[in-house]
Amino acid sequence: MSMPSISKTLGTSILMAGMAFGSAAAMAADGPLRGNVRVVIGSTSTGGDTYQNSNIVVDALADHLDLNMKVDAVGASAAFRSLDRDSRGNTLMIFHDQSYLGHLYGVEGYDDIFEKYTIGPTVAINPGNAYLVPKDSPYKTLNDVVEAAGNGEEVRVAIQPGGVSEIGFSALKNAIRIEHPGMEDNLVAVNTGSQADKNQHLFDGQADVINGTVQANEQYTRLPEDDQKSMRFLWLTARQDTLKQAPEEGLGKTSREELLKYVEPNVNVTMGDDKNFTFDKEFFFLYNKDMDPAIVDQIDEALTEIYEEGEIQKAQKKSFFIPNFKPSGESEEYLKEKMSTYKDIIENIK
């Protein structure tokens, strides 16, 4: 008597589970975002902050929407081309401020994203954008760099031109222009490529200062001064309020309290009129202009729910990212305003 009852109960449970799975699959299939979704990023590195941050967000979205979504590190030019070709919504893009800074700097392949694409939600900030010197450098503070250039000394700064790496350099050059008019050209850009290339310029004595990140360069700040690869931070461009949201333990062996020594107001880069330059490296979605607006709404709604649940913030902070979700409409307005601030700086030093 008991065996048929067990079988019947088990059969009912399997049927109900199958119906639930089918219902979830049907919901995913009925949504405007369907099939396999490729999320291209403006970086070719699978070890960098763009890939790492995008992976956290895309994995959460894939689980929430019951879709197969994959991050593809193809680089900026290829990512924009892929986005241009696909209006169905099967190709999305995640990048950071370089997507509009590249256009402001006139870099080939960078169009005005606010005209050519639909701006999606912001998802996070990397507060680790930094400038570093060798540990035995005569420049003990960023003000030493400004004063050296102002007094006629050439200071070489290794950057990757046309984006996030260059904007801090431009702000520093603008500050020298304000404080020591006519001396700003003593700050010289050493244009190079990847972080490894910038590091090598410092190791070889071909640059006095380099742009880096807390994530990539903190390990070198732990080396003894007599090590050729030793470095120390001079400046983190992030806003103080942004960095204060990072985990107290900071990153590696450098605490949040130590990192706060390198942001405003402890480090000042004037923009004139009692304003100081800060820059938060921000990650956000970009969409094909002709993509179904319902997909924009679907992703906004999904991410709103994901951020309300609170788990994604833990994953982001563990990797030293600061959660900063803004839905598409709010995101576009915010990023346009942000772009206009940095446009003025770039215009000032042309």
One digit per residue, the tens of pLDDT, for the chain of length 350 reads 344 444 444 444 444 444 444 333 434 456 799 889 999 999 888 878 899 999 999 999 999 999 999 999 999 999 999 999 999 999 999 999 999 999 999 998 899 999 999 999 999 999 999 999 999 999 999 999 999 999 999 999 999 888 888 999 999 999 999 999 999 999 999 999 888 899 999 999 999 999 999 988 999 999 999 999 999 999 999 999 999 999 999 999 999 999 999 999 999 999 988 899 999 999 999 999 999 999 999 999 999 999 999 999 999 999 999 999 999 999 999 999 999 989 988 888 77
CA distance 256 to 263: 11
Helix (H) or strand (E) holding 116: helix 113-116
Residue-level pLDDT at 324:
96
Q: Name the residue among 120, 103, 175, 171 with its Cα closest to residue 146.
A: 175
Which residues, in sequence order, are CB contacts of 79 under 8 Å at separation 6+? 40, 41, 42, 93, 95
Residue-level pLDDT at 165:
87
Helix (H) or strand (E) holding 133: strand 129-134
Q: Read out DSSP for 31-96? A: SSS-SEEEEEES-S-SSSHHHHHHHHHHHHHHHHHT-EEEEEE--HHHHHHHHHH--SSSEEEEEE
Predicted model pTM: 0.85
Residue-level pLDDT at 30:
65
One-letter amino acid at 90 equals: N
Q: How do strand 322-326 and strand 117-126 relate by DSSP bridges?
A: antiparallel
Quick count: other Cβ atoms within 10 Å of Cβ 260?
17
Residue-level pLDDT at 19:
42
Residue-level pLDDT at 44:
87
